Amino acid sequence: AAWEKQVRHSSTPRRPNGLSVLVTGAAGFVGSHCSLALKKRGDGVLGLDNFNTYYDPSLKRARQKLLLKHQVFIVEGDLNDAPLLAKLFDVVPFTHILHLAAQAGVRYAMQNPQSYVSSNIAGFVNLLEVAKAANPQPAIVWASSSSVYGLNTEVPFSENHRTDQPASLYAATKKAGEEIAHTYNHIYGISLTGLRFFTVYGPWGRPDMAYFFFTKDILQGKPIDIYQAQDEKQVARDFTYIDDVVKGCIGALDTAEKSTGSGGKKKGPAQLRVYNLGNTSPVPVGKLVSILESLLNIKAKKHVIKMPRNGDVPYTHANVSLAYRDFGYKPTTDLSTGLRKFVKCENVGTDVVDGVA
């Protein structure tokens, strides 16, 4: 069928020993960037995304269109659709899965708890079940989150710091993902690598994230809410530029050992790893706003609230020495440089770029 042909074509590597990667969440922010980077390198990439309406799906369609231009095909479907996933693995012997599909966002969980359980827990288990049954078993690299460190204030965070105080249901489902990964690695010998991303930003980013809607609101002269503690330096984010995160994801894929099982049977010990992918340089939200003000050359209408929001963690700061040691991860983009690229990009949403100096 035409569908099968497209699936095969998209996932077949063009370079010798290239990877064949199923990228879940490929129409998303991080997924679309990673898919493009892998394809440009000559790897085979097949996307999967359900194009949900958590934020404007026209942005996801625009990313899909861009990927299609580069011959990356996205299958429209849900992580929880086991027959669909099984069919994909029947057609393609994927060497790797880059699992980025999830219900993201911290605050939305208070109104929509079930969507986190469905995508981040049930959907992940479903994917693992299909991967377990596949022959060969693909190595899996998946997105965890800095939010697993929760209320921990012992910074910078190293991977062995405590993660037993999640501040939101989102964080709890990401933490659950790490525990679930452990069991599939242990029982079935699936190679699993978790990446704790730290507040990723950049062109084609997520409209629900602060840097994105702050930019839009400042341009439109609308007021913005800045949540901070009594001492503004106590609330900060280790904002990480998308290109750095993409390099980290590819480094993790390239160094992932093969799974040791096949068809649900374990043969030997397989790799299980977790890494921070951050920027190592936390910035208070007020500073993020002042950088945007100078890039846009507009004074923001600031509404400062001297209280953290429910579900937010106070402070994030990554120690990335483990990722550096194992695959040379080194963030190279500071926040001003990255935001300059963001506000200049024509594709962040047409209303965002109008009037940029």
Q: Which stretch binds ligand UGA (CB under 6 A): 48-56, 78-86, 222-230, 251-259?
A: 222-230
Among 21, 26, 48, 226, contact with ligand UGA (rule: CB under 6 A): 226
Nearest C-alpha neighbor of 67 from the set 33, 17, 105: 33
Q: Which stretch binds ligand UGA (CB under 6 A): 41-49, 191-199, 294-302, 331-339?
A: 191-199
The single residue of 55, 116, 149, 170 carrying the catalytic annotation is 170
Selection from ligand NAD, ligand UGA, none that 225 binds (CB < 5 to 8 A by kind) is ligand UGA
CA atoms 175, 171, 124, 71: torsion sign: negative
Q: Using the rule CB under 6 A, is 78 a contact of ligand NAD?
A: yes
Q: Using the rule CB under 6 A, is 216 a contact of ligand UGA?
A: no
Among 23, 46, 60, 178, contact with ligand NAD (rule: CB under 6 A): 60
Q: Using the rule CB under 6 A, is 10 a contact of ligand NAD?
A: no
Active site residue 170: yes
Selection from ligand NAD, ligand UGA, none that 101 binds (CB < 5 to 8 A by kind) is ligand NAD
Q: Using the rule CB under 6 A, is 28 a contact of ligand NAD?
A: yes
Q: Which stretch binds ligand UGA (CB under 6 A): 10-18, 132-140, 223-231, 268-276?
A: 223-231
Among 24, 137, 185, 199, contact with ligand UGA (rule: CB under 6 A): 199
Tell me the closest approach of the beta carbon of residue 230 to ligand NAD, in angstroms: 26
Among 13, 47, 123, 150, contact with ligand NAD (rule: CB under 6 A): 123
Q: Using the rule CB under 6 A, is 104 a contact of ligand UGA?
A: yes
Q: Using the rule CB under 6 A, is 101 a contact of ligand NAD?
A: yes
Q: Which positions lie near ligand UGA, rule CB under 6 A?
A: 104-106, 145-147, 197-199, 209-210, 225-227, 235, 237, 285, 309, 312
